[in-house]
Amino acid sequence: MSTITWEDPFCAEGNSCFRLGTDETGNAYIAVKGQEEHYLTDSAEALRTMILDIKAGKADHLL
């Protein structure tokens, strides 16, 4: 099992806090703060694209 290195939580006002992480093989992870055992994983590029799309208003209902 890979060891995930989690970044500091990202918290928006009035919303849940999320954490991003990476492992030594280049996979990226996103999880709700405090529930890191239930994460979504993909390539860093795929998660980066998802986050950019959400920030652009294309999929704000996902988070």
Tally of structural domains, the chain: 1
Taking the whole predicted model, whether its pTM rises above 0.85 is answered as: no
Q: What is the pLDDT of residues 27-59, one digit of tens each?
A: 888 888 888 888 888 777 887 787 777 777 776
Q: Is residue 30 part of a domain?
A: yes
* 6 pLDDT higher than 90: yes
Gap between the Cα atoms of 16 and 49, Å rounded: 20
Q: Is residue 40 part of a domain?
A: yes
Question: What does the pLDDT read at residue 4?
Answer: 92
Domain that holds residue 44: 5-55
Gap between the Cα atoms of 13 and 52, Å rounded: 19
Mean pLDDT of the 12-34 span: 82
Helix ranges (H only) for 1-63 are 44-55
Gap between the Cα atoms of 10 and 16, Å rounded: 9
Q: Is residue 60 part of a domain?
A: no
Q: Is residue 61 part of a domain?
A: no
Q: Is residue 63 part of a domain?
A: no
